[in-house]
């Protein structure tokens, strides 16, 4: 998606060979107009799919998923939680995820009643690198017995294996920008086309 690539090129910050910061517009401050257009693009890409629910994971997926939901007929958005909360009771799907960004292991939790076997789910997240969080969400979908219609990612790090691995497993992954290389010296970002 040209608009997102241009924005990453303009406001993205290459902090090291592996770390791209998009906090000015995507996951600390959020450009609502951009998120809206990203939602429209996923709606175009997944047109015809009978999506009943959008699943994402806290925290930075939530805004993107909500804005996207408007383009899918205001389907409900469910966000997986990253830690136990005393407010979270009843039957839960739970899976363990290793975050490479944060260097820690956490539990991903979704209440069972929020995903039904009849649901057709679109999973949305801001970043895909190793695919660890996404694999956790897919575990939960499999346990729930729902249909995963596709995966929408804002920024995929094409030099890490998460996206390719999911495509090989047969998932339709639509990343709006795929970064193939980043140069922390020059700030140059190379996108896949």
Instruction: Measure the CA–CA gap between 50 and 1, rounded to whole angstroms.
Output: 23
Residue 90 falls in which region: left (phi positive, over 0), alpha (psi -120 to 50) or beta? left
Site string for a second copy, 23-52 (x = CB under 8 A): xx---xxxxxx-xx----------------
Q: Of 172, 114, 112, nearest to 148 (Cα)?
A: 172
Instruction: Measure the CA–CA gap between 59 and 81, rounded to whole angstroms.
Output: 8
Query: Which residues, 135 to 174, sit near a second copy by CB under 8 A?
Result: none
Q: How far is the CB of 139 from a second copy (least distance, A)?
A: 18
* Alpha helices (H) along 46-154: 61-69, 132-144
Query: Which residues, 57 to 116, sit near a second copy by CB under 8 A?
Result: 58-59, 62-63, 65-67, 69-70, 74-79, 81-82, 85-89, 101-103, 110-111, 114
Query: Which residues, 2 to 21, sit near a second copy by CB under 8 A?
Result: 15, 19, 21
Instruction: Measure the CA–CA gap between 33 and 129, rounded to whole angstroms.
Output: 25
What does the binding site for a second copy look like in residue numbers (CB under 8 A)?
A: 15, 19, 21, 23-24, 28-33, 35-36, 58-59, 62-63, 65-67, 69-70, 74-79, 81-82, 85-89, 101-103, 110-111, 114
């Amino acid at each position: 998606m040209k608009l997102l690539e241009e924005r990453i090129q303009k406001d993205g910050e290459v902090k090291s060979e592996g770390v791209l910061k998009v906090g000015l517009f995507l996951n600390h401050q959020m450009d609502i107009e951009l998120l809206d257009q990203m939602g429209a693009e996923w709606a175009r890409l997944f047109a015809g799919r009978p999506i009943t629910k959008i699943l994402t994971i806290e925290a930075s997926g939530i805004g993107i998923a909500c804005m996207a939901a408007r383009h899918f007929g205001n389907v409900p958005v469910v966000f997986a939680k990253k830690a136990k909360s005393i407010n979270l009771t009843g039957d839960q799907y739970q899976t363990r995820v290793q975050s490479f960004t944060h260097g820690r292991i956490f539990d991903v939790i979704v209440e069972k009643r929020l995903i039904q076997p009849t649901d057709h789910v679109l999973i949305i997240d801001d970043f895909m690198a190793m695919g660890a969080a996404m694999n956790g969400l897919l575990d939960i979908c499999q346990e729930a017995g729902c249909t995963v219609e596709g995966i929408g990612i804002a920024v995929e790090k094409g030099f890490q294996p998460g996206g390719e691995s999911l495509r090989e497993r047969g998932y339709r992954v639509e990343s709006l920008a795929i970064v193939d290389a980043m140069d922390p010296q020059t700030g140059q970002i190379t996108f896949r086309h």
